[in-house]
């Protein structure tokens, strides 16, 4: 029994050492070239709320949403479009919908107060397919909501990575 415990602890130590030796490290909060950002996303936008929360959770960026305080921001995140679409993909023999495609498009650019463009107009487009069944409409609506939230989180993470890629103002 004692030998087994010793072998298990040795195996755990070897695994930890091999992970640290290969350069493995937990993901850290990104470093940004700016400390204040103005975002014109409305307070009612779920994507805007999640992006603001993600930026502020790093502890390195203050997000300004009041247009009267725009002069305090180092950079301005301009949202060019934020749209959701639901498109019919397929129909059955009787003409009823069998499958939808959910799309989320988010376009933005980042500039300084002086107008220097740091990130040119960029679009993030995501899509997910969802089957449809008339007998489970409420369940499919809930699934649709979950898929949109998942896509929204993905967009926020992509925007965060692009903002972190900006190296100089």
**For 1-117, where are the alpha helices, taking DSSP H only?**
2-21, 46-57
24 has a pLDDT exceeding 70: no
Q: What is the pLDDT of residue 125?
A: 96
Residue 66 placed within a domain: yes
- What mean pLDDT is predicted for residues 91-110? 92
136 has a pLDDT exceeding 90: no
Residue 15 placed within a domain: no
**For 22-136, where are the alpha helices, taking DSSP H only?**
46-57
**C-alpha dist (Å) from residue 45 to 18, 41, 108, 127, 155:** 44, 7, 15, 19, 13
42 has a pLDDT exceeding 90: no
Domain boundaries, position 75: 29-164
Residue 12 placed within a domain: no
| Domain containing residue 44: CATH number | 3.30.160.150
Residue 6 placed within a domain: no
Q: How confident is the model at residue 26 (pLDDT cuts 50, 70, 90)?
A: low
4 has a pLDDT exceeding 80: no
6 has a pLDDT exceeding 80: no
The percent of residues above 70 in pLDDT, for the chain, comes to 89
Residue 82 placed within a domain: yes
Q: What is the pLDDT of residue 121?
A: 95
Domain count, the chain: 1
Residue 44 placed within a domain: yes
Residue 146 placed within a domain: yes
């Amino acid at each position: 029994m004692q030998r087994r415990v010793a072998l298990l602890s040795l195996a755990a130590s070897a695994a930890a050492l091999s992970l640290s030796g290969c350069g493995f490290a937990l993901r850290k909060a990104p470093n940004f070239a700016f400390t204040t950002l103005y975002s014109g996303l409305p307070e009612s936008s779920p994507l805007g709320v999640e992006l603001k929360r993600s930026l502020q959770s790093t502890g390195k960026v203050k997000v300004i949403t009041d247009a009267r305080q725009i002069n305090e921001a180092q950079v301005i995140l301009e949202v060019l479009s934020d749209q959701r679409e639901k498109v019919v993909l397929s129909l059955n023999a009787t003409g009823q919908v069998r499958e939808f495609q959910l799309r989320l498009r988010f376009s933005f650019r980042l500039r300084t107060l002086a107008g220097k463009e740091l990130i040119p107009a960029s679009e993030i487009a995501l899509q997910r397919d969802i089957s449809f069944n008339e007998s489970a409409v409420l369940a499919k609506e809930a699934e649709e909501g979950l898929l949109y939230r998942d896509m929204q989180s993905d967009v926020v993470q992509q925007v965060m990575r692009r903002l972190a890629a900006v190296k100089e103002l």
